[in-house]
Structure 1
Amino acid sequence: MEKYSELEELCKLGGNAIEQTFDRIRFNADLSFLGPQLPEYAFLLGLKNGFYAFAEALHVYTYLPSDRYNEQEVVTWNKASLWKRAYGLTEVKPFAFAEDIFGYQFCFDVEGVTRFDPETGELEPVCSTLDEWAGLMLTDPEAHLGYETAREWSQTKGSIRQGERLLPIYPFITSEGSADLTNLYSVDALKGMLSRADFARQIKSVPDGQPIEIVPLIPQNRNPS
């Protein structure tokens, strides 16, 4: 078996596996569309089937045929009907396998690993392989995951609940947006994706630099803790 040293190190630093079992045969059948990206991914989840790391800044999704993780089992999470359709995504790829503290999605795409921005609906290249991605997370978790923000939130407000992410009241791409704790709130990850999909649709046709009026949008189940 090929050795993926960066993935091994990332798993060592992560918390306990969310799911203790991993059905590799069923996994290979269900996710065969990932093609050459599948072996690395199977290796990762075979080591640890879903986990949080870096003060919950990184969340690697769990694979489980029957979902019981707030719709964040990886196959369920990638169903077009859940949040992708709200962004106009209809293809199997990008296929999200993890998220950072702000709900930005790390995805398998035709180019390799990409990062999906939920505020704009845009994808940006990250690296070619999953092992390379793990190396980036290990090298600079602040730049890639928002680690310091997650750590500060945990120290001042308590641990982030499973299935939740930190979202900005004023979006990051606006002049008022920032990762300061006063501009953040914790929310169910799915509700956060859907609320920002609405924002992404609104700004899609606005030219860069053109002033627009931003009305802060906070889903009703806001968790103020």
Structure 2
Amino acid sequence: MKGILYTGGELTDLVSFARLPAYLQAFLREQNGVVAYFGGLHIRGCVAEPAWHSLAEAWQGESAFWRSYDTVLETDIPFGQDCAGNQFLLRGDAVLWLDTETGELADLEVDFKHFLFGAEKFPVDALSMEPLRAFQQSGGVLQPGQLLSVYPPFCMATDGQQQPSIKAVSAAERLAWLASFYRQIKDLPDGQSIRFTTE
């Protein structure tokens, strides 16, 4: 992997570790999670702290993805995320991609090994890194524990007048915003007009 910004320390969450498939255990034994591609991919580790890097927090914590998203099962393992907070999940041996704005789930039709291979070979496409490239070109640097906040959301069609705003925020803030946005739009029909209000 290129552009490594962070690697997890010692394996401290052995309860979660014991529940993982052997191939993910093998990866985490070598490096207990990683932020790579300059923030384009975050693979969580089996740690208690920091919370943003904790697999257990994302899998079983108060804000676990299965608690917020109708398409996610409690048994799905949220092993990683892209720069904007979309999630990579393991269901059995299949890698799924969760669009955290809409809750849509896509089967990437690869296993974990081939997911890593695809990310290594085609990082921009495999990891949807266009927003990160734009952020970097304007001088931005994504720090470990941060995700990109993109406004307006990707799933919205706009009049094209407004340039998207991209900024770095804490991962917890971004994921909480996405879950809230999803809950508000999930029952709306396609093409529904919506208006944002600022509090």
* TM-score, scaled to structure 2: 0.83
- Which residue number corresponds to residue 21 of structure 1? 10
What are the Cα deviations for residues 100-148 of structure 1, in whole angstroms up to 9, with x where unaligned? 1111111111361101111011211013411011112122211122334
2:56 is aligned, of 75, 83, 100, to 75
- Which residue number corresponds to residue 94 of structure 1? 76
Change (3 A) 1:197 1:139: same
Q: Does the residue aligned with 1:127 lie in a helix, a strand or coil?
A: coil
- Counterparts of 1:25-174 in structure 2 under 5 Å? 27=14, 29-34=15-20, 38-64=21-47, 66-67=48-49, 69-84=50-65, 85-88=67-70, 91-110=73-92, 112-174=94-156
Count of residues in Structure 1 that have an aligned counterpart in Structure 2: 197
Change (3 A) 1:133 1:125: same
Q: Do 2:5 and 2:39's aligned partners in 1 also have CA atoms closer than 8 Å?
A: no
- Residue identity in the other structure for 1:73: S
Q: Do 2:149 and 2:174's aligned partners in 1 also have CA atoms closer than 8 Å?
A: yes
1:186 is aligned, of 168, 171, 194, to 168
Consecutive unaligned residues in structure 2, runs of 5 or more: none
CA distance in 1, matches of 2:101, 2:114: 25
CA distance in 1, matches of 2:106, 2:51: 27
Shift of 1:150: 1.9
CA distance in 1, matches of 2:175, 2:64: 7
Shift of 1:182: 4.0
CA distance in 1, matches of 2:6, 2:80: 14
Change (3 A) 1:42 1:158: same
**Which moved further from structure 2: 148-157 or 123-132?**
148-157
CA distance in 2, matches of 1:90, 1:215: 26
Shift of 1:205: 1.8
Consecutive unaligned residues in structure 1, runs of 5 or more: 1-9, 221-225
Q: Percent identity?
A: 22
